[in-house]
């Protein structure tokens, strides 16, 4: 090889370079470059096919990764080039089938997929919400099927020591779409970051831009962690369909410099906004013995469905009322808890605030329940005053993965001593407020007079203030600020930071005398 007129000239010496020298040069390129350079000459082709080149394209810890599989033998595949291409096209199950390993064909970077069984899925072991099934097209033994949404939250972790150095990774949730109930929102918060450190959070869409309404969706879940060697076009916030018919929801990116031994966490969590944060329910109790003896089984409400009932007034005129949910006399406490209390509790556990408000008649029909409901220190106040319990839910994260916990603190109890938790790096706190609003029974039914009557009148001031706050929250245009009159009463000031999401339960008798 020489120069002529300032240009490089290739002579016969270039083509007689030792094959080993050419192989060393090719091993410093990329797999696509090695394949293209194999067309230069027969000696280049021979060098490009050599194990010396393709062994350099395999990860440095390849043998350690293969040792985590169940009996895979690289020798069966043949040459190192065939072995490289095999891992590009056929993912290898490792860690007892809980993960799969593959290579990016263009860069040789390591790719991992985490099976659904290795993910942390809220209510994943509850058959009413999630099922575990086998699919012939899945590489894993089981996949998770979303059946009914109570709280959608999925988290996965991988140790960064497994990743290729100097590589930008993209985290994806891989899913299919079918049928499910409870998903009445189209976006979620996706986050990728080191536990105990900073994370990148973005809002992603749970449905593709075209087709597949979200309330007809079922997730057979795995978490894909793949090298972003080739940039993708389009909006990454929308799911993208793969060639196998599955969809990828991009959760975010992470750049791995190399040398770190940390836990990388990837998560997807539901986000509700606008009017979906406010839920109003009505519950009708069975008739009491006094009501039955007074006017028989006379009731003034008639059920239409789980959200609507018809009220018949004294003039025999029908009025239709709709709520987010109506619980009739046959409903059980578990039904009310699952629909109303459980989502708010999960908000608090996940460092968000929520409020449950009951307003209306309170009756205890079960004698055993009546004994359990006798006055105690926390509910000695009369029904003529509002009763508020405030619970703080705190979750602590540490750099030591052996420590991860949360606790619930009731504000009226003694202050909790947490001096022995000084090693903690990050605190997440949520507030759960339970409110029993003062009763507003009819005066002619209660016989209230004097001071009791005056107390009943003053109750209306705080109830009116609460109504004004709720009205301001629900009428505020999306994305625009609006004055919320929190300061109008002590009740609304206490509930200020927990009215972001709240449930209002209205207990009621179906007897016509109570309307």
Query: Do 130 and 243 sit in the same domain of this protein?
Result: yes
Please indicate, yes or no, if residue 306 is contained in any of the structural domains: yes
- Cβ atoms within 10 Å of 409's Cβ, excluding its own: 16
Q: Are residues 279 and 260 in the same domain?
A: no
Query: Which of 213, 242, 271 is the last residue in one of the domains?
Result: 271
Q: What is the pLDDT of residue 98?
A: 92
- The Cβ of residue 32 has, within 10 Å, a number of other Cβ atoms equal to 12
Domain-terminating residue out of 271, 289, 309: 271
Token duo for residue 287: 């008739």
Range of the domain at 345: 275-371+379-514
Q: Is residue 180 part of a domain?
A: yes
Q: What DSSP state is assigned to residue 172?
A: E
Q: CATH code at 457?
A: 3.40.850.10
CB contact set of 451 (below 8 Å; sequence gap of 6+): none
Contact between 433 and 355 under an 8 Å Cβ cutoff? The reply is yes
pLDDT at 277: 62
User: Residue 71's beta-bridge partner residues?
Assistant: none
Encoding tokens for residue 469?
């706050």
Position 83 scores a pLDDT of 94
Kindly provide the b/e burial profile for residues 488-506, where b requires at least 16 CB atoms within 10 angstroms of the residue's own CB: bbebbebbeebbbbbbbbb
Q: Would 436 be classed as within a structural domain?
A: yes
| Cα 134-139-140 angle, rounded to 5 deg | 55
Length of the chain (residues): 515
Those residues of the chain that have pLDDT short of 50 are 1-9, 11, 211-220, 226-234, 273-275, 365, 370-371, 373-384, 397-426, 479
**Residue 64 backbone phi and psi in degrees, to 5:** -65, -35
345 vs 177, 181, 253, 337, 442, CA distance in Å?
Answer: 28, 20, 31, 10, 33
Q: What CATH number has the domain bearing residue 243? A: 2.60.120
Q: Round the average pLDDT of the chain to a whole number and report it.
A: 73
Whole-angstrom distance, CA of residue 239 vs CA of residue 251: 10
- Whether 482 is covered by a domain: the verdict is yes
What pLDDT is stored for residue 408 in this prediction? 42
Quick one: 484 and 357 in the same domain?
yes
Q: Of 271, 294, 320, which closes a domain?
A: 271
Residues whose CB falls within 8 Å of the CB of residue 389, separated by 6 or more in sequence, listed in order: 378, 410, 411, 412, 433, 434, 435
SS3 46: helix
Are residues 17 and 95 both part of a single domain?
no
Q: Three-class SS string for 101-136?
A: EEECCCCCCEEEEECHHHCEECCCCCCCCEEEECCC
Rounded to a whole number of angstroms, the distance between the first and last alpha carbons of the chain is 102
Q: Which residues pair with 511 in a beta bridge?
A: 299
Query: CA-to-CA distance for 263 and 404, rounded, in angstroms?
Result: 13
Domain-located, residue 357:
yes
| Predicted pLDDT at 385 | 56
Q: Say if residue 282 is in the same domain as residue 263.
A: no
Domain check: are 204 and 326 in the same one?
no
| Same-domain pairing of 175 and 293 | no
Residue 409 resides in a domain: yes
Q: Are residues 151 and 39 in the same domain?
A: no
In terms of Cα–Cα distance, which of 265, 268, 234, 264 is closest to 251? 268
Classify residue 3: in a domain, yes or no. Answer: no
In a domain, 20, yes or no: yes
Confidence (pLDDT) at 94: 94
Residue 30 and residue 91 share a domain: no
Count: domains in the chain: 3
Domain identity same for 52 and 123: no
Pick the closest to residue 182 from 206, 155, 212, 147 (CA basis). Answer: 147
Do residues 217 and 84 both lie within one domain?
A: yes
31 and 96 part of one domain:
no
């Amino acid at each position: 090889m020489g120069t002529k007129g300032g240009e490089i000239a290739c002579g016969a010496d270039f083509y007689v370079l030792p094959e080993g020298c050419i192989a060393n040069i090719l091993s410093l390129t990329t797999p696509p470059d090695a394949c293209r350079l194999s067309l230069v000459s027969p000696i280049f082709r021979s060098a490009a096919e050599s194990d010396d080149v393709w062994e350099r394209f395999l990860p440095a810890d390849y043998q350690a990764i293969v040792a985590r599989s169940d009996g895979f033998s690289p020798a069966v595949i043949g040459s190192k080039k065939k072995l490289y291409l095999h891992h590009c096209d056929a993912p290898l199950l490792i860690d007892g089938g809980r993960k799969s390993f593959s290579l990016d064909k263009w860069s040789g970077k390591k790719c991992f997929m985490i099976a659904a069984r290795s993910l942390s899925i809220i209510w994943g072991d509850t058959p009413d919400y999630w099922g575990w099934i086998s699919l012939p097209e899945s590489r894993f033994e089981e996949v998770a099927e979303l059946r009914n949404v109570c709280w959608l939250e999925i988290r996965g972790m991988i140790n960064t020591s497994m990743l290729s150095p100097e590589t930008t990774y993209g985290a994806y949730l891989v899913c299919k779409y079918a049928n499910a109930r409870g998903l009445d929102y189209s976006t979620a918060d996706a986050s990728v970051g080191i536990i105990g450190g900073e994370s990148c959070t973005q809002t992603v869409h749970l449905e593709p831009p075209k087709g597949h309404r979200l309330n007809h969706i079922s997730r057979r879940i795995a978490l894909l962690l793949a090298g972003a060697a080739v940039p993708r076009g389009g909006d990454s916030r929308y799911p993208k369909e793969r060639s196998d018919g599955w969809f990828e929801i991009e959760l975010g990116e992470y750049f791995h410099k190399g040398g770190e031994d940390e836990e990388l966490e990837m998560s997807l969590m539901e986000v509700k906004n606008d009017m979906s944060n406010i839920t109003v329910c009505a519950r009708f109790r069975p008739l009491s013995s006094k009501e039955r003896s007074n006017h028989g089984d006379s009731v003034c409400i008639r059920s239409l469905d789980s959200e609507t009932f018809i009220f018949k007034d004294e003039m025999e005129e029908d009025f239709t009322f709709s709520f987010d949910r109506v619980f009739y006399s046959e409903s059980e406490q578990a039904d009310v808890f699952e629909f109303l209390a459980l989502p708010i509790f999960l908000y608090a556990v996940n460092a968000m605030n929520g409020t449950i408000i009951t307003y209306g008649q309170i009756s205890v029909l079960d004698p055993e329940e009546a004994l359990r409901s006798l006055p105690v220190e926390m509910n000695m106040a009369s029904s003529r005053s509002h009763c508020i319990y405030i619970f703080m839910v705190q979750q602590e994260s540490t750099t030591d993965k052996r420590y991860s916990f949360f606790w619930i603190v009731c504000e009226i109890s003694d202050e909790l001593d947490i001096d022995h938790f000084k090693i903690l790096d990050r605190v997440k706190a949520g507030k759960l407020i339970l409110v029993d609003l003062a009763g507003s029974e009819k005066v002619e039914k209660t016989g209230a007079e004097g001071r009791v009557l005056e107390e009943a009148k003053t109750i209306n001031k705080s109830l009116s203030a609460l109504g004004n706050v709720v009205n301001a929250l629900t009428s505020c245009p999306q994305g625009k600020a609006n004055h919320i009159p929190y300061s109008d009463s002590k009740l609304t000031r206490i509930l200020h930071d927990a009215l972001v999401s709240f449930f209002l339960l209205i207990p009621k008798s179906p007897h016509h005398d109570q309307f």
